[in-house]
Amino acid sequence: MLGRMLRHEVRDGIAWITLDRAEKLNAMTRDFFTELAGHMEQADRDPSVRSVIVHGDGKCFSVGGDIEGFGELGGSADRRAYVQEALRSYRTVEEISKPVIAAVHGFALGGGCELTLVCDLVVADETARFGMPEASVGLFPGPGAVRGRAYMSLHAIKEMIFTGAILDAERAHAFGLVNAVVPPGE
């Protein structure tokens, strides 16, 4: 299955799901969430797949939601539907029967950071930067506000949400957001 924003390939028992919109720093369109759920379900059904790795093409993992696309949302009902689509997609990541690993380099912001929070493990290279800067544009993080609490202290998640702080890989590891920090390219 080849989507508009994601690539999916299986190599040596690993389903590699690649955020493939490098020219826009892998900013997530509304269609991204349906695509992600579809790729996760495909990997879950494939008996040759033992694990899934989600990573970004280009300079970073993902800068989060495509802000240009937010202007296309209709009224409040459409905005609620969009949030529900995102939540269903993230729930699919959490619920598949195979381990899902986020391999992060560069920015993992907003929805990109939230995607890492629903993965089973997060491996970040030293270039990784995590944050939920939604407050700086008048928004509140969706799943990040809820999922982050499962891994991070209440004070750490509040600091990220309220201040829009961008954490380097080592600080994200100290906050409990990252399992391991590795040199770039590993």
Question: pLDDT tens digits for 14-44?
Answer: 999 999 999 999 999 989 999 999 999 999 9
Residue 78's pLDDT is 74
Residue 151's pLDDT is 75
- pLDDT at residue 143 above 70? no
Question: pLDDT tens digits for 102-138?
Answer: 999 999 999 999 999 999 999 999 999 999 888 777 7
Residue 71's pLDDT is 65
DSSP string, 49-116: --EEEEEESTT-SB--B-HHHHTT--SHHHHHHHHHHHHHHHHHHHHSSS-EEEEE-SEEETHHHHHH
| Calpha distance 17→152 (Å, rounded) | 26
Q: Which residues carry out catalysis?
A: 114, 134
Rg of the chain taking only CA atoms, in angstroms:
15
- pLDDT at residue 70 above 70? no
Under the banding of pLDDT at 50, 70 and 90, the label for residue 2 is very low
* Cα 85 to chain centroid, rounded: 14
For the beta sheet containing 129-131, the strands, ordered from the edge strand earlier in sequence to the opposite edge, are 107-109, 129-131, 166-168
Greatest pairwise CA separation for the chain in angstroms: 45
- pLDDT at residue 186 above 60? yes
Residue 60's pLDDT is 98
| pTM given for the model | 0.91
CB 39 within 8 A of CB 16: no
